[in-house]
Amino acid sequence: MPMHTCRFASRLVLRLALLFAGGGLFSALQAQDAEALQANRPDWEELEARFSGPDGAKAYSQLSAQLDTASRRLALAQAFYYGSYFVDGANAGRDDFQALDLASLANKADAPTLLALCDSVLAIRPADLTANYYKGLGLYLVDTTDLRSVHYRDRYVLLCNTILSSGTGAACPTAMDVLSENDAMEVMRFLSIRKMVEEPLENAEEGCQRYRITASPIYRSRIIHFMVH
């Protein structure tokens, strides 16, 4: 995997618009302190048993409504995010839907196009981080009083915190579990990490990726690891 650097000052402005807009609708929501979270690794065998095949797809489709009403939301969110790995069709093009490609549509005039793109992805992958984030932002741009935007904002925050709970990110054995490189980038943006450079790893477990990063108030280390499944 080639090394690459990502800068996204404009995306940070959009994120602030979503999470901190006036009027109280988008009150400040911060990520949980990633280094304080206790690892809650996904049980891949159990998830495969629950969500593989036609019966599994039906069970997965019921998770969305449960996620919005349950009290133990983090446990359900883990099944909702990681369980999508086993749902037929959900893995196609996970890295094709790039957050930065949507930034130019994040304005009131283009919001209908932005929403249509998000809907096309959420129909296949309702746990997609990028689509949930921009769906909430698109709704907010169209109507700042639309409470559906809060729903997608909260779901985005919950999914990001689910990934943060999967590991500390300190090394490959404790890497945070993600389903795509795009999700790793999304989590780093969520942590207010403004710059990241992927570093090559020798003799590392397959799928482990390490990034040298600028520390943020939320994630204070300058190294973070993800396990991409």
Whole-angstrom distance, CA of residue 47 vs CA of residue 84: 9
Residue 203, phi-psi category: left (phi > 0), alpha (psi -120 to 50), beta (remainder): left
Side-chain-side CA neighbours of residue 146 (13 Å): 15
Residue with tokens 């746990």: 127
**Tens of each residue's pLDDT in the chain, 229 residues:** 334 333 333 443 344 444 434 333 333 334 554 444 456 889 999 999 999 888 888 888 888 778 766 556 788 899 999 998 888 666 655 556 555 578 889 899 999 999 999 998 888 888 889 889 999 999 999 998 888 888 898 889 999 999 999 999 999 999 999 998 889 999 999 999 989 999 888 777 889 999 999 988 888 899 999 999 8
- The reported pLDDT for the residue numbered 63 is 84
Contact (CB, 8 A) for 220 and 35: yes
- The reported pLDDT for the residue numbered 97 is 57
- The reported pLDDT for the residue numbered 80 is 93
Global confidence as pTM = 0.80
- The reported pLDDT for the residue numbered 120 is 87
Mode of pairing for the β-strands spanning 195-199 and 208-213: antiparallel
Q: Where are the domains of the chain?
A: 5-30+39-167
